[in-house]
Amino acid sequence: MKILVTGGAGFIGSHLCEKLLEKGNEVICLDNFFTGSQKNIENLMGNKNFKLAEHDVEKPYDFAVDEIYNLACPAAPIWYQKDPVKTVRTSILGAINALDLTKKLGCRVLQASTSEVYGDPRVHPQKESYWGNVNPIGIRSCYDEGKRCAETLFFDYWREYGVDIKVVRIFNTYGPNMAVEDGRVVSNFIIQALRGEDLTIYGDGSQTRSFCYVDDLVEGLIALMGGKDFTGPVNLGNPAEFSMKELAEKVLALIPESGSKIVFKDLPADDPKQRKPDISLAEEKLNWQPAITLEEGLKKTIGYFKTVIK
């Protein structure tokens, strides 16, 4: 098939492009490099089935393809808060443009939504039926509400126009190709440890997250796209739950030469206290569950950052 991946030069998008190429597909990677990187896809540039289109999803685009994965959007707080209006525009206009092309072509489109649609959840773990607890006017709202509105658009196009949609809610994901300065907790801890700096925990370290290695996530995205009679939304993530303090301790144990210690700072506004996916729907509908443990994934990610940290 010929497949379009918006945000294809980003962290998750680059891994998805590589896996789709391995499966024998033609891939068009669309990216404006706001947060994506040429380095993430340089190993794909020599592949005759890979094509790069530099473009902003806020503006319409037109490619003859069989499937569209809509991943384009800044996903780390440091980036989506840098230009919050653009973040909202990317989520909403990007969704509309992907949906309009899908409607025109009669193909299938997958929306990469996020666990952030659940906000600071009052239900734990989070099931897809939970509507969330989101501050609509906070500093994270540009991302949270942008993604929630994108989901609304996807389901309205499905109901009104019969567009073939898939919606996935992605929980914390990590692995190679994460940006050095993106502020995500896994990359932050690894980089700080490799540089011999103190590992910064915001809050008392008791807040929890669940960490999914990127290879597992990509398998889930492809499984959802290939499934029949199931639109989602569906959670994809690793349900193994760890506190921030536990994660920091694991990173230090895997980089014993660092000599770093843990320090604590104030918790940012609207930072969720708990985040853990209920993946029973993914197990039932997609026959999917993550296979890579946190320790195994951290070793691979540390190995990657050792090659990029000078």
Q: Which residues are catalytic?
A: 143
C-alpha 202/C-alpha 205 separation (Å) is 7
Helices (H), the chain: 11-22, 38-41, 77-80, 84-105, 141-161, 185-194, 214-226, 244-254, 280-286, 294-308
Instruction: Match 């707080």 to its residue by tokens.
Output: 77
The DSSP call for residue 174 is E
Q: Residue 18: what are its φ and ψ, rounded to 5°?
A: -65, -45
C-alpha 164/C-alpha 103 separation (Å) is 8
Instruction: Match 């104030």 to its residue by tokens.
Output: 266
C-alpha 24/C-alpha 42 separation (Å) is 18
Is the torsion defined by CA of 253, 254, 256, 260 positive or negative? negative
DSSP states of 53-70 as a string?
A: EE--TTS------SEEEE
C-alpha 276/C-alpha 73 separation (Å) is 22
User: Torsion-angle region of residue 39: left (phi > 0), alpha (psi -120 to 50) or beta?
Assistant: alpha
